[in-house]
Amino acid sequence: MKYLILDIETLPHPNASQWLEPVQAAANLVDPVKIAKSIEERTAERDDKLGLDPDCCVACAIGWHVVGGDDPTVDVCRTEAEEAEALRRLAAVYAAPMGQQETKIVTFYGRQFDLPVLMRRAMYLGVKFPTLNLDRYRSPHIDVWDVLTFNGALRTAHSLKFYAKRMGFTTLDKVDGGDVRTLAAAGNWDAIREHCLSDVGLTHAVANKLGLLRLS
């Protein structure tokens, strides 16, 4: 089996607000000043979450590692042109033969986020990319989050970093996903790269600890 460990980081698309309907103020407000403030606050709250919307985000870092292959790779995507090239590279890695082995992608919450985002971004950017099976029970790919939460049945789900620490793994990474937007605005792409690289490594470690990687 060929295992492809995968993680991405995302940002709101700079044009996303142009595609969305205007935010409405709270229905109980009549004062124009309060209405304007409500619209401003609700718009900011909506915009903060656009990086998690596959139709309104960009992938600013794409990291992967073929188990047993070369060292992990992270492509930082400062522009859509760089993002498109990273998607092409990932598609090639996914399709590259390793003997006659089937490729299984391994992610943390990737079935619901990383993989849909990659397919959507490829669609919008005109990049040929594999159609991945995201069915909760029939997908050939491995989502560590699904395994740890019994396919979402467990309500006390935690982050990748939590599970890694809980299993005894250590990491020097101090960045959370919520920090990526601030780091990108500051031009700190190295920190984004290191964070994505750390998540690839932690996903690999946790998946291996759970016995999900059956290497022949």
* 73-131 tens-digit pLDDT: 999 999 999 999 999 999 999 998 765 578 999 999 999 999 999 999 999 999 999 99
Residue 51 lies in a domain: no
Low-confidence residues in the chain, pLDDT < 50: none
Residue 99 lies in a domain: yes
Residue 20 lies in a domain: no
Residue 44 lies in a domain: no
Sequence-distant (6+) residues with CB within 8 A of 111 are 134, 136, 139, 141, 143, 145, 146
Total domain count, the chain: 1
The DSSP secondary structure of 131-171, one letter per residue, reads PPP--TTT-SSEEHHHHHTTTTT-S----HHHHHHHTT---
**Residue 202 neighbours by CB distance under 10 Å:** 25
First to last CA, the chain: 7
Residue 110 lies in a domain: yes
Backbone angles phi, psi at 87, to 5 degrees: -65, -40
Q: How confident is the model at residue 25, as a pLDDT?
A: 86
Q: How confident is the model at residue 100, as a pLDDT?
A: 56
Q: How confident is the model at residue 5, as a pLDDT?
A: 98
* CB-based contact 48:177 (threshold 8 Å): no
Residue 22 lies in a domain: no
CATH number of the domain bearing residue 185: 3.30.420.10
Per DSSP, which regions of 49-100 are E strands?
57-66, 73-76
Q: How confident is the model at residue 216, as a pLDDT?
A: 62
Residue 205 lies in a domain: yes
Residue 28 lies in a domain: no
The whole domain housing 204 covers: 2-8+56-209
Q: How confident is the model at residue 177, as a pLDDT?
A: 86
